[in-house]
Amino acid sequence: MRRYTRNMRGYGPQAPNANWPNGAKVAVQFVLNYEEGGENCLLHGDAGSEGFLSDIPGAAPWAGQRHWNMESIYEYGARAGFWRLHRLFTGADIPVTIYGVASALARNPEQVAAMKSAGWEIASHGLKWVEHKDMPEDEERAAIAEAVRLHTEVVGERPRGWYTGRCSMNTVALVAEEGGFDYISDTYDDDLPHWMEFGDRDQLIIPYTLEANDMRFAGAPGWVTGQDFGDYLIDAFDTLYAEGEAGAPKMMSVGLHCRLVGRPGKIAGLKKFIDHIQAHSDVWCPRRIEVAEHWASHHPHKRIERPSTMTKDRFVSLYGGIFEHSAWIAERAFELELGPAHDCAAGVHNALCRMFRSATDHERLGVLLAHPDLAGKLAAAGRLTAESTSEQASAGLNMLTDEERETFTALNTDYVAKHGFPFIIAVRDHDKASILAAFKRRINNDRDTEFAEACRQVERIAEFRLQDLFA
């Protein structure tokens, strides 16, 4: 059994209505990453200096050495940038979520006091601002536990949200395993919160952003001026606000760093953005934990039976009759590389159709022959499958006049004699009159043309059946 674990589907074409408080058209959530004092540094027991997210072009770690310039840039974030941002957000009466590196918080008690006094949420940004990608699983598990312990000791309460940033493939599962987090933000995969399942735990995910983020002042392609950043944020907001006005409200995350947008030449664009959103009505600016509480209350997780995680017996029992009396199609489809994208009607339909299309002509003919005549003897005798009975009834084929029945009988006989299989049409796309018209038109096709058309109709019938099943 091959299974593809990445989730490319998400909510699909119909995302839930976020139902933000007071009918807000968009939720704009500001995150301030507090990493100053938690970055790579020999003083912190690391093997080299920091090389990430600074104003030093092309910076790289210095193995075994301290980097005076890099350290001083991070110090600017703590000494000046934080306070400039603190004044901006408290003055605008907008609460923020801090992604706080536990070791950085421990080294900056005055800033922690200011965060708490402002009523800001302090979520965990890990133990240290370092890469997790090469950490052994047990080491990373221990680092997560120590981050929670130290955070609780420094802040006075445990973090309810988590964002690593420089995470490994194990991080999200390990944080969910810890069991105490209302949300995790180590994804960038949606404009709305969503749920993930880890064993018995239903974990809320609130996606973050790397594009509406001042980190692009420190990389390419990136922002050159504060106005670049502000204009981008405004464009993103205007798009989401319009979607909210159309009945599909979303969430916008804005990522900030003390040492980056905290500089005077960069913060002007952020101020422009804040002025812009405050000039609009129906905008909610929550802390991240409030988004989590809202989503858990209004959109609690519901576990469903997923085709991609079914046993073969269960998969075939559910989908073996989608193609009339042809369970072999479902048996083969089960062996495909199924994943979350197949946990919907369109996904199962695609998998089944692939096996039907790749079958031999003889096998596909068998599927066509398994279909009953329209309004034929099996229907009259009540021997159709439940699906076929319902489909034919939907077009009124169960209530024919004697004349109509004679017409269908004659057409069925002539069609089978010419083509060697029954006339097949997705009756839900038609009424009685259009079915008769199609019957009279298609009976004159050559066999190859009609074989291809019959196969298309079989796939369409399967599509309707799956939509019913998933509804």
pLDDT at 384: 57
Distance CA 225, CA 366 (A): 67
Question: Whole-angstrom Cα distance, residue 290 to residue 346?
Answer: 34
- Exposure of 253 in the CB half-sphere (CA atoms within 13 A): 26
Residue-wise pLDDT tens digits, 202-219: 999 999 999 999 999 988
Model pLDDT for residues 278-288, shown as the tens digit of each residue: 999 999 999 99
Beta bridge partners of 123: 99
Above 50 in pLDDT, residue 370?
yes
Q: Can you say whether the dihedral through the CA atoms of 413, 417, 421, 426 is positive or negative?
A: negative
- 3-state DSSP assignment of residue 97: strand
**Alpha carbons 44 and 227: distance in angstroms, whole number:** 36
Q: Is the pLDDT of residue 373 over 90?
A: no
Q: With contact defined as beta carbons under 8 Å apart, do 41 and 66 qualify?
A: yes
Say what the pLDDT of residue 389 is.
65
Q: How far apart are CA 103 and CA 47, in angstroms?
A: 17
pLDDT at site 284: 98
Determine the Cα–Cα distance for residues 419 and 442; give it in Å rounded to an integer: 11
| Cα(173)–Cα(167) distance, integer angstroms | 11
374: left (phi over 0), alpha (psi -120 to 50) or beta: beta
3-class secondary structure, 43: helix
Alpha-carbon Rg for the chain, nearest whole angstrom, is 30
Cis bond before residue 221 (omega within 30° of 0): yes
What's the pLDDT score for residue 381?
41
pLDDT tens digits for range 246-271: 999 999 999 999 999 999 999 999 99
Can you tell me the distance from the alpha carbon of 445 to that of 435, in angstroms, rounded to the nearest whole number? 16
Q: What residues are annotated to the active site?
A: 371
Model confidence over 70-118: pLDDT tens digits? 889 999 999 999 999 999 999 999 999 999 999 999 999 999 999 999 9
Query: Nearest Cα to 175, choosing from 189, 164, 188, 187?
Result: 164
Between β-strands 183-184 and 161-162, what pairing exists: parallel, antiparallel or unpaired?
A: parallel
Please give the pLDDT value at position 405.
82
List the structure tokens of 364.
């596909």
Q: Angle CA(237)–CA(210)–CA(253) in degrees, nearest 5?
A: 40
Per-residue pLDDT tens for 139-179?
999 999 999 999 999 999 999 999 999 999 999 999 999 99
- Angle at the Cα of 70 (from 64 to 72), degrees rounded to 5? 120
Q: Quote the pLDDT of residue 402.
A: 79
- Judged against a pLDDT cut of 60, whether residue 382 lies above it is answered with no
Alpha-carbon span 219 to 264, nearest angstrom: 19
Give dist(CA 176, CA 78) in Å, integer.
30
Cβ within 8 Å of residue 303, ≥6 positions away: 197, 202
| pLDDT tens column, 182-201 | 999 999 999 999 999 999 99
Average pLDDT of every residue of the chain: 93
> Could you tell me the sign of the dihedral formed by the alpha carbons of 332, 333, 337, 338, in that order?
negative
Distance of CA 430 to CAs 147, 240, 276, 459, Å? 63, 39, 52, 16
Using DSSP bridges, classify how beta strands 97-100 and 121-124 pair: parallel, antiparallel or unpaired: parallel
Residue 234 confidence (pLDDT): 98
Residue 166 and residue 142 in contact, taking contact as beta carbons nearer than 8 Å? no
